[in-house]
C-alpha cells in the first residue's frame, strides 16, 4: 500500500498516481517498447524501473535526487502503454510526478535557465519567431555561446517562414456538413504555418466551416510535460474559455497538442474547472480522425506518377490518442500514393517537446535512427502528424544528405487536391 501518496495542493494528483503505481505487475513487457531502455539498457531508465523509483519517492523511502535523472530521461512517448498487458496508465504517473516535484528537482541554475527560456518563448509565437531569428546571431558567435544554450541553436532553422494570419472564420465550400474550431498551435505557427493553411483548405473543401478562436493560446503541453503545473492549468483554462461550445468538434493537427488537451481533466483535477475540462476533452479530435469519420466528399486527384510516401507515427498520436489507421487511410485515398511503413515505428524520433534541449545526446541518437529507418523505405516523402516530429525528421534527414520531403499528412492531402488545378 502507498500510504505516503496523498492528494496534493495542486489538483489532487496523488490518487491517479497511486492507482497507476498499483496497476503495474512488473512483467517487463514495456522494456522492448521503451526508447530510453533501448538506448541505455538500464532498468531504471525503463517504465517499469521508473514506476518503482516513483513509488519509492512518493512513499518517502528514496531521495528525489536519486530518481530525478531517470525521470528527466523519460521521453513521455507513452509507447509503454499499448505494450502493457495490465493497462498501466503511465501518463497518470510521469507528468503528475514531474508537476508534483519539479520545484524540488536537483537541477543546476543553467538547466533551470534553459527551461525558463523555452517556457517564455516557444508557447508564444511572436516571441518564438524573434528568438529563432536571433539564433543566427548566436550561431555566428560560435564558442562564445554558453554550452547550455547550444542545443537550442542547433535546432533553430536557418530561415523562418513568413507569418500567416489565419481567418477567424473560413466558410465551408458548397453545402456545409460540419462546423469546427481549430487549435492553431504555438511552435507550428512559426516553424510551419502552412500546416494550418493546408488543414483549413482540406476541411473547407470537404464542407466544413472552420473557426480559429482569437482568444486561444498554447495547449499547455510544454508546461505540463516539464512539470510546470501552474502554467499548464492557466493554459487549459484559457482554452476552455476561448473555444465555443457550438461546434461539432475541436480540431487539432499537432499530436502533442491534441494529447495535452485530452489531459485537461487531469491537469485541472480537484479544481472547480475539472467538470468542464472533462466535457471539453470529449470534443477534442485529431483532424485525421475527424475527416475519416466525416468522409472525404471531394476525392483527391493525386498525381500521374506513383509517389512513395512513408508514414511516421507521432507518439502522441499513436500511443496517447490511439490514432494509427486514420492518417494512413487518408494517404491511401490519394491516387498514385504508395504507402510505406517505417521499421520500428513504435520507437520515438527523439523530439518529445523540449527533450532535444534537455537530453540532446539521446534525442540525437533517436533522431538519427529514425531518419535512417525512413530512408530505408525508399520513399521520397515522409508524412507525420506532429510539428515536433516533422522538425526532428527534417533536421536529421538534412544532416544525412537525404532528399526526402517532410510533410504533414494534411499538406500531402492538400497538395493532391491542388495537383488538379
pLDDT value of residue 14? 66
Instruction: State residue 59's pLDDT score.
Output: 86
Q: In the listed set 123, 155, 187, which residue is the last one of a domain according to the structure?
A: 155
pLDDT tens per residue, range 87-96: 999 998 899 8
Residue 5 lies in a domain: no
CATH number reported for the structural domain that contains residue 319 in this entry: 3.40.50
- pLDDT, tens only, 244-257: 999 999 999 999 99
- Whether residue 162 is contained in a domain is answered as no
Inter-CA distances, 32 with 52, 73, 136, 347, Å: 18, 16, 40, 9
**Per-residue pLDDT tens for 201-221?**
999 999 999 999 999 999 999
- Return d(Cα 195, Cα 205) in angstroms, integer: 15
Model confidence pLDDT, tens digit, residues 327-368: 999 999 999 999 999 999 999 999 988 898 889 999 999 999
Residue 271, CB-side half-sphere exposure with 13 Å CA sphere: 21
Q: Do 26 and 88 belong together in one domain?
A: yes
Decide if 239 is inside a domain: yes
In a domain, 163, yes or no: no
Residue 51 sits in which domain range? 14-104
In this structure, are 92 and 173 located in the same domain?
no
Q: Which of 155, 190, 223 lies at the terminal end of a domain, its last residue?
A: 155
Average pLDDT, whole number, for the chain? Answer: 91
Dihedral (C-alpha) 376, 377, 382, 387: value to the nearest 10 degrees?
A: -50
Binning pLDDT at 50, 70 and 90, where does residue 183 land?
very high
Whether residues 182 and 257 fall in one domain: yes
CA distance 198 to 195: 5
**Residues 266, 223 within the same domain:** yes
pLDDT, residue 364, reads 94
- Specify the DSSP element, H or E, that contains 325: helix 325-332
What are residue 211's DSSP bridge partners?
169, 181
Q: Which three cell numbers stand for residue 133?
A: 531569428
Q: Is residue 7 part of a domain?
A: no
Are 250 and 284 within 8 A, CB to CB? yes
Whether residues 252 and 352 share a domain: the answer is no
DSSP 161: P
User: What's residue 99's pLDDT?
Assistant: 87
Residues 377, 317, single domain; the answer is yes
Place of cell 488537451: 261
Between residues 387 and 110, the one the model is more confident about: 387
**Order of strands, sheet of 337-341, starting from the edge strand that comes earlier in the sequence:** 337-341, 307-311, 381-384, 405-408
Question: What is the C-alpha separation between 378 and 376, in angstroms, rounded?
Answer: 5
6 domain residue, yes or no: no
Where a domain ends, among 90, 122, 155? 155
Do residues 187 and 279 both lie within one domain? yes
Q: Would the pLDDT of 382 be above 80?
A: yes
58-105: pLDDT as tens digits: 888 999 999 999 999 999 999 999 999 999 999 988 998 988 888 888
Cα dist from 209 to 156, 176, 199, 241, 244, whole Å: 34, 7, 12, 20, 14
Structural domain includes residue 365: yes
Which pairing describes strands 208-211 and 169-170: parallel, antiparallel, or unpaired?
Answer: antiparallel
Question: Could you tell me which residues come within 8 angstroms of residue 186 by beta carbon, excluding any fewer than 6 positions away?
Answer: 122, 123, 124, 125, 128, 217, 218, 219, 222
Q: Is the separation of the CB atoms in 30 and 46 below 8 Å? A: yes
Per-residue pLDDT, 11:
40
CATH number at residue 60: 1.10.1060.10
Q: Which residue has the cell 496497476?
A: 23
Q: Do residues 73 and 123 both lie within one domain?
A: no
| Domain identity same for 139 and 28 | no
Looking at the structure, do residues 225 and 271 belong to the same domain, yes or no? yes
Sole residue written with cell 464542407: 207
Domain count, the chain: 4
Amino acid at each position: 500500500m502507498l500510504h505516503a501518496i496523498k492528494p496534493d495542493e495542486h489538483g489532487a494528483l496523488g490518487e491517479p498516481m497511486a492507482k497507476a503505481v498499483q496497476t503495474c505487475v512488473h512483467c517487463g513487457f514495456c522494456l522492448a517498447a521503451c526508447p530510453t531502455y533501448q538506448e541505455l539498457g538500464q532498468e531504471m531508465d525503463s517504465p517499469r524501473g521508473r514506476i518503482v523509483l516513483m513509488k519509492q519517492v512518493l512513499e518517502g523511502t528514496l531521495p528525489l535526487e536519486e530518481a530525478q535523472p531517470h525521470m528527466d530521461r523519460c521521453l513521455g512517448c507513452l509507447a509503454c502503454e499499448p505494450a502493457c498487458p495490465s493497462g498501466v496508465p503511465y501518463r497518470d504517473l510521469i507528468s503528475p510526478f514531474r508537476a508534483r516535484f519539479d520545484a524540488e528537482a536537483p537541477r543546476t541554475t543553467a538547466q533551470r535557465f534553459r527551461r525558463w527560456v523555452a517556457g517564455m518563448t516557444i508557447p508564444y509565437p511572436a516571441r518564438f519567431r524573434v528568438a529563432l531569428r536571433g539564433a543566427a546571431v548566436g550561431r555566428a558567435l560560435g564558442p562564445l555561446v554558453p554550452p547550455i544554450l547550444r542545443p537550442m541553436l542547433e535546432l533553430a532553422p536557418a530561415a523562418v517562414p513568413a507569418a500567416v494570419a489565419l481567418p477567424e472564420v473560413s466558410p465551408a465550400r458548397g453545402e456545409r456538413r460540419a462546423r469546427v474550431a481549430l487549435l492553431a498551435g504555438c511552435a507550428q505557427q512559426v516553424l510551419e504555418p502552412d500546416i494550418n493553411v493546408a488543414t483549413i483548405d482540406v476541411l473547407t473543401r470537404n464542407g466544413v466551416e472552420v473557426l480559429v478562436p482569437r482568444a486561444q493560446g498554447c495547449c499547455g503541453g510544454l508546461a505540463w510535460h516539464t512539470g510546470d503545473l501552474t502554467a499548464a492549468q492557466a493554459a487549459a483554462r484559457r482554452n476552455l474559455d476561448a473555444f465555443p461550445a457550438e461546434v461539432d468538434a475541436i480540431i487539432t493537427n499537432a499530436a502533442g497538442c491534441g494529447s495535452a488537451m485530452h489531459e485537461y481533466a487531469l491537469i485541472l483535477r480537484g479544481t472547480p474547472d475539472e467538470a468542464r475540462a472533462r466535457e471539453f476533452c470529449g470534443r477534442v479530435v485529431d483532424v485525421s480522425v475527424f475527416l475519416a469519420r466525416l468522409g472525404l466528399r471531394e476525392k483527391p486527384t493525386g498525381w500521374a506518377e506513383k509517389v512513395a510516401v512513408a508514414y511516421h507515427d507521432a507518439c502522441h498520436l499513436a500511443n496517447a490518442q490511439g490514432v494509427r489507421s486514420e492518417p494512413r487511410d487518408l494517404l491511401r485515398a490519394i491516387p498514385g500514393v504508395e504507402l510505406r511503413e517505417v521499421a520500428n515505428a513504435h520507437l520515438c524520433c527523439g523530439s518529445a517537446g523540449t527533450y532535444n534541449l534537455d537530453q540532446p545526446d539521446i534525442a540525437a541518437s533517436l533522431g538519427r535512427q529514425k531518419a535512417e529507418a525512413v530512408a530505408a523505405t525508399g520513399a521520397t516523402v515522409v508524412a507525420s502528424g506532429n510539428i515536433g516530429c516533422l522538425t526532428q525528421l527534417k533536421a536529421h534527414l538534412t544532416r544525412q544528405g537525404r532528399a526526402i520531403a517532410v510533410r504533414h499528412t494534411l499538406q500531402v492531402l492538400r497538395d493532391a487536391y491542388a495537383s488538379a488545378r
